[in-house]
Each structure stands twice: as C-alpha cells, then as structure tokens.
Amino acid sequence: MILEATSKVLPVLLLFLLGVFFRKSNFINESTISELKKVIVNFSLPSLLFLSFSKTNFEIKYLPIILAMFIICIGLLYIGKFLKTILKIKYDYFPLLFTGFEAGMLGYSLFSIAFGLENLFKFAVIDLGQVIFVFFVMVGILTRYKQSKINYWDMFYSFIKTPVIIAIFLGIISQKAGLINVFENSTILSAFLETIKLLSTLTVPLISIIIGYEIRFKRDNLKVALLTVLLRNLLLLLIALIINNFIFIKILHLDRLFQVALMTMFILPPPFIIPLYMKEDDNENKWFVSNVLAINTFSAIVLYIIIVSIYV
C-alpha cells in the first residue's frame, strides 16, 4: 500500500527534485520563480478550480464546513499563543505558525495528483474557510507586526478580487446555471474551455518545481523549528481524526474523499505568505519561519504518502 501511494506522489517528488536542481545549478534564477508564481496564482490554479467547481453540485451542507474551518483556525491561533507562553518561545511569529494552511502552493497539487480533478472540489470546500481566515485575520496580524496600521477595506477588496476566489464562484455559478454545457456544445466557446483546461494542466508541475526550488534549511533555530512542526502536526492530526469520525461521518455523512481532503489540509505547512509580510531586517524571525515552512513541507509529503496508503 505504501508503495502504491508513493507511486501516486512520485511525480511530484521528482518535480521537487527538479526544482532543487534548477536552484543549485542556477539554471533559472529567483526572479523567474517569482514570475512563474504570478502565472500560477492568476491563471493556472484559478483555471483548475473553475473546472473542478463547474462540474460539481455545491450543496448547502458544505457551508458548516467552511465556517468550522474558520473557527478552527482561530482556535489554533490561540493555542499557538498559549504554547508560546508555556514553552517560553521567543519568536513573535510562533503562534501564526500553528494556524492556516498552504493549500494553494501545495495542497491542491498533492490532492489532485492522487485523486484527480473530479474530486478536487472536496479539498477546495475545506480550503475556503481557512482562506477567509488568512485574508481577514492572519494578514491583519501580520500587517500590524510590520506597520501597525490595518486597512480592513483593503483586505476585503484583496479577498474578493483574488483570482482563486473569483474562479471558485464562477465555477459554482456556471454549474448552477448550466453554462458549462453551453460552452461544451459551442464550437467557438469550447475553444475557450479547452484553453482553460490547458492552463489548468500547468498547475501541478509548476507548483512542484517552485516548492523544490525554494525549500532551504538553516541550522540556526532548527531545534525550535522541528519542535514547532512536531507539535503542530500532532495537534492537527488529532483534530482531523475527531472531525472525521464525529462530524464528517456521523453528522454530515460525507464520503471517504472528504475525510482524505481534511487530513491532507491538516498536514500542510502554514501559509507561504507569512515571510512576505515580515520586516526586511528581522532576520532571526525570518529564518525561524523559513525553517518551519521547509520542515513542514517535507513532513507533509511523507505524511501524505501514509494518508493515501491508508485511505486508498
């Protein structure tokens, strides 16, 4: 079973290694990686999510999942603050590393490569609640750390104009209105649909290469970073098992892939945007955050192989 699960994830692992090779050989530079991220965030990932939701009947029973994920992220933030106090962790960003998930640049790739585009919406439903948390809570805290002034209107505007959010809602509207069938049956409009499909195929390989390129470790604060990832993973796996058994199965009666989607979400590292909001001269906190993200990315891949082998 482990071997079969590894074979499903192996293409991603090989692309990670290709990204590492690109960095070490200077085959491409960091500015190229930044440009590729723009392509992913603005075109390929939104295309992938639009196609997934356009073929899915979004049900009212999914709304409690979105709300629950938002509440869980808030709770994890306070757990992080509590642990920072009792463990006497000096790093300001420690609580933020206990909450939020890097779904966009890692989760969607892992889940789709093992379970296909047709099931990706199940992961996206779980992602929506934490995306709202990241935009309206985490970004607010990060902004306060950096510049002390928060503009909540700007945060809301950033959320509603995010290509991923737009793509999800357009996909839901297309499915409900039957527009996707109109596109498929029209000679001209079907060409646009095929273009979206081609763009969506870029998502997994580009994201995998970028993650491999950017994974780096530094010996400073490595022990604290390892402890952070260990505590985060243990806590989140416990919460995931409780939610799966008592809410997803017994209350909402969701299928097995929703359970896998939740487990996948909860093994992911914190959002990769955290370093973008840190002060340029705050090197100590920057390397701590970077180590946590790198270690948790590596652990997520290992844990995902185990999860796939168990649930498949």
Model pLDDT for residues 201-228, shown as the tens digit of each residue: 998 899 889 888 888 777 777 889 999 9
pTM: 0.86
Query: Tokens 């402890």 identify what position?
Result: 227
**Per-residue pLDDT tens digits for 236-267:** 999 999 999 998 988 888 999 999 999 999 99
pLDDT by position in tens, the chain (length 312): 667 777 878 888 899 899 999 999 999 998 998 899 889 989 999 998 898 888 777 788 899 999 999 999 999 999 999 999 999 999 989 999 999 999 988 999 899 888 888 888 999 999 999 998 988 888 888 877 766 565 667 777 777 888 888 998 899 899 888 888 888 888 888 888 899 999 999 988 998 898 888 887 777 778 899 999 999 999 999 999 999 999 898 888 899 999 999 999 999 999 988 887 777 777 788 889 989 999 999 999 999 999 988 876
Furthest-apart CA atoms within the chain: distance in Å: 64
Rounded Cα–Cα distance for residues 20 and 229 (Å): 22
Closest CA to 268 of 92, 76, 89, 87: 76
Extract the tokens encoding 40. 């992913």
Extract the tokens encoding 307. 């999860």
Element (H, E) at 263: helix 256-267
Decide if 60 contacts 172 (C-beta within 8 A).
Answer: no
Rounded Cα–Cα distance for residues 139 and 131 (Å): 11
Decide if 93 contacts 278 (C-beta within 8 A).
Answer: yes
Polymer length of the chain = 312
Map out the domains of the chain with their CATH numbers: 2-311 (1.20.1530)
**40: amino acid identity, one letter:** I
Phi-psi region of 149 (alpha: psi -120 to 50; beta: other; left: phi over 0): beta
